[in-house]
Amino acid sequence: MKAVVYKGPNAVSVEDVPDAKIERPTDVLVRITATNICGSDLHMYEGRTDFEVGRTFGHENMGEVIDVGNGVDAVKVGDRVVLPFNISCGFCENCERGFTNYCMTTQPDPAAAGAAYGFAGMGPYPGGQAQMLRVPYGDNNCLRLGEDAVEKQNDYVMLALYVDDKTELPQSEWYTSTYDQKEKKTIGAQNADYQIVKYNNNAQPHYCLVDHDGNLLVRPKNYDLSADNFAKFLDSGKAKFGEKDNLVFIN
């Protein structure tokens, strides 16, 4: 198949690459019919990231399903689908709580979370600026479209931007803390606007604080902190972010 291949800063080429194919029972294979060029593609194209030479761009995609693995139930051959740019499993602890952009299953780096198609630092997955795309966990990552999918594909492809956008995330099942960005300290656990999520799948996972848009605000310097101790430290009001204490202010 043909794909847009990154050749180095400010250089891409349409080349023949190995055909995308079903690799796992939960995969779906999509023939790409529309894909966006995102502003974040430019960061990679211009060499401002560690995007590897030889990879393919394209994280906002839609198309027609042409094959499914034998573990796929909902998606059928012939379906027109749009694909969220974040690749998620749907069943890990973060996905079940709505944090699909912090999926712990699809990111192979145990020190990170979250994956995407054709994106630097977000897994090895090829992008969709190609004739075909393998979609992992197809039942979870394919948004099936209606009868006007072909007619309105230039509109529907934009859903790849928003279908994974979490503007109202569920409250934490563990602990919550309100975080005052101006004062850089926590101010208690009532009316919480920020949540603790597990941030990797190591034997000793660490935790971070995120806002309702899923933005990473705080991570612990000490990855051995348990969720209990992390939450207690936040709720104590003693956290001084960005200083020598146990947390680092990110934003």
Read off the pLDDT of residues 210-240 as tens digits, 9 standing for 90 and up: 555 555 555 555 545 565 666 666 556 555 4
pLDDT-derived band at 243, boundaries 50, 70, 90? very low
Domains of the chain: 2-162 (3.90.180.10), 176-249 (no CATH)
pLDDT of residue 94: 85
Note the pLDDT tens digit of each residue in 82-128: 998 899 999 988 888 878 888 889 988 877 788 999 999 899 999 99
Strand order in the sheet with 61-68: 132-135, 28-35, 61-68, 80-83, 143-144
3-state secondary structure of 29: strand
Higher pLDDT pick, 174 / 2 = 2
Question: 63-80 pLDDT, tens per residue?
Answer: 999 999 999 999 999 999
End-to-end alpha carbon distance in the chain: 41
Tell me the one-letter amino acid at 235.
D
| Distance in angstroms (rounded) separating the CA atoms of residues 96 and 208 | 17
Whole-number pLDDT of residue 102: 85
Selected residue with higher pLDDT from 229 and 6 = 6
Cα 36 to Cα 39: distance, rounded to the nearest angstrom:
10
Sign of torsion over alpha carbons 221, 227, 231, 232: negative
Phi-psi map region of 108: left, alpha, beta (phi>0 left; psi -120 to 50 alpha):
alpha
Provide the whole-model pTM: 0.67
CA distance 199 to 103: 9
Predicted local confidence at residue 180, as pLDDT? 43
